[in-house]
Amino acid sequence: MECTETTDGLSRMYKVKVPASELKSRLDQRIEEIRPQMKLKGFRPGKVPAAHVHKMFGKSIMGEVVEAVMKESSEKAIADADVRPASQPDMHMESDMEAVLEGKEDLAYHMHVDVMPDFEPVDAATLKVTRPVAEVDDEALNEALERVAENNLKYEARGKTAKAREGDAVVIDFVGKLDGEPFEGGAAEGHTLVLGSNSFIPGFEDQLIGVKAGDEKAVEVTFPEQYQAEHLAGKAAVFDVTVHEVRAPKTPDIDEEFAKGLGIESLDELKNLVKQQLQQELDNASRAKAKRSLLDALDEKHDFELPPKMVDMEFDQIWQQLQAEMDAGRVSDEDKDKSEDELKDEYRKIAERRVRLGLVLAEMGRLAEITISEQEVQQAMIREAQRFPGQERQVIEFFQKNPNAMAQLRAPIYEDKVVDHLLEKVDVKEKKVSREELLAEEEE
């Protein structure tokens, strides 16, 4: 193998050539490896002549050989140059691939790769970070308990002549019919339906507004075209409904009985659980702002050349997101009056900051020997899969089959571990703030 290197800052170009004779030798070796397992009509198992294998499958086997040689030779070129790649090599074929596969031409290609900059990370102990903290007060706790109560409404019977309003619950019997004939699964007795909950077919609940106990009503609806039961999809139906009772919503009192109705032993335990949940929310916000303060401090202390390809890729991703926001009409007042050149300049600086901080965190994590366990990756993959109920298996298989997707899953886990490690090393000054101030959104 021949290899030459061209240097331009952090960009490298390697020109690689592998003689056709070496490829042929590898091809012959590969044929000898697979011949004992081959079964072809007209030959005894494992006795197919090498020449026949070459004639029948030589080109496809050579394709496998070339792929393996390119992987090995590119890794060797980078290892011999003693550099740490900052990105995957960008490969460009120079040979006529058809001629290479036929054994008539040397394999020649070149690859571009950005390398990691050489820099000394700052000593974390010299950094100062501000961490705003807040505690759950009685007002926030009471508001949260009221929300719990509102999400667990009770329904009390209204007068017999009271007409149902949106938000009321009605106790009904119903029988659904297609062309006058009842259909399977379309009937129920004593069913409680909250009007406005949208839990029934569109239009069903609206037609029960104004009914009262004892009423009988024919509710006419059309099943959605995408309805899960295919035999009903798009069909017009009539439901014969009998109303037994109209009930009004009532927010329950927050007392011992309410707590026990939620499966909790006492009101004090309910308050404690809600307070813990609220405090966790505040602690998460506190860490997020401490992390932002840490990143600002790291950005201020580091200034080194950045791998251009990494910056371009980060900028392209940011710009695509911005374009999507613009197309959807979601543009901040700050960006509205800026020219495209101004926006590109601004967002390239953001891309540069992200790349710089990513490299700094990666290097500090490497020096601290921080690693990610397979268990942590598996847990993250399961959490991601749970976001798509019913498709969990497909999501997990997607990650298992896509190294790039798996890398994107691992990256934030690694970053969080490095950040937590650094927050234990830096000089953290806690600042007491109100809950509202802590939860206020920071401008990106």
Give residue-wise pLDDT tens across range 134-144.
999 999 999 99
Beta carbons within 10 angstroms of residue 247's beta carbon: 19
Q: Is 259 exposed, middle or buried (0-12, 13-18, 19+ CB in 10 A)?
A: buried
Task: State the fold for domain 265-439.
Answer: Trigger factor, domain 2 (1.10.3120)
Question: Is the separation of the CB atoms in 406 and 395 below 8 Å?
Answer: no
* Statement: residue 156 has pLDDT above 60: yes
pLDDT at 37: 83
pLDDT classification of 441: cutoffs 50, 70, 90 = low
157 strand-pairing partners: 247
pLDDT classification of 49: cutoffs 50, 70, 90 = confident
pLDDT at 8: 85
pLDDT at 443: 41
Question: Is the separation of the CB atoms in 136 and 284 below 8 Å?
Answer: no
- The Cα 185–Cα 201 span in angstroms is 13
Domain ranges in the chain? 2-114, 154-250, 265-439
pLDDT at 442: 47
pLDDT classification of 51: cutoffs 50, 70, 90 = confident
Contacts of 50 (CB under 8 A, 6+ apart): 28, 31, 32, 35
pLDDT at 174: 97
Q: What are phi and psi of 96, to 5 degrees?
A: -80, 110
Tens-digit pLDDT profile for residues 285-343: 999 999 999 999 999 999 999 999 889 989 999 999 988 888 888 877 778 778 889 99
Average pLDDT over residues 340-365: 94
- The Cα 343–Cα 371 span in angstroms is 37
CA dihedral (401, 404, 408, 414) in degrees, to 10, reads: 90
Beta carbons within 10 angstroms of residue 175's beta carbon: 15
pLDDT at 187: 95
pLDDT classification of 414: cutoffs 50, 70, 90 = very high
Q: What's the Cα-to-Cα distance from 1 to each of 184, 273, 440, rounded to whole Å?
A: 73, 67, 60
Average pLDDT over residues 178-182: 93
239 strand-pairing partners: 176, 219
Q: What are phi and psi of 107, to 5 degrees?
A: -85, 120
Tens-digit pLDDT profile for residues 82-93: 988 987 888 999
pLDDT at 232: 92
Task: State the fold for domain 2-114.
Answer: Alpha-Beta Plaits (3.30.70)
- The Cα 148–Cα 326 span in angstroms is 38
Tens-digit pLDDT profile for residues 37-48: 888 888 888 788
Q: Which residue has the higher pLDDT, 172 or 403?
A: 172
Question: Is the separation of the CB atoms in 307 and 115 below 8 Å?
Answer: yes
pLDDT at 211: 96
pLDDT at 223: 95
Q: Which residue has the higher pLDDT, 55 or 187?
A: 187
Q: Which amino acid is at 404?
A: N
Question: Which two tokens mark 159?
Answer: 């007068």
pLDDT at 332: 79
Q: Is 23 exposed, middle or buried (0-12, 13-18, 19+ CB in 10 A)?
A: buried
* Statement: residue 444 has pLDDT above 70: no
125-155 burial, b at 16+ Cβ within 10 Å, e below that, comes to eebebebbebebeeebbeebbeebbeeeeeb
182-206 burial, b at 16+ Cβ within 10 Å, e below that, comes to ebeeeeeeeeebbbeeeebbeebbe
Task: State the fold for domain 154-250.
Answer: Chitinase A; domain 3 (3.10.50)
Question: Is the separation of the CB atoms in 118 and 84 below 8 Å?
Answer: no
Mean pLDDT of all residues in the chain?
92
pLDDT classification of 428: cutoffs 50, 70, 90 = very high
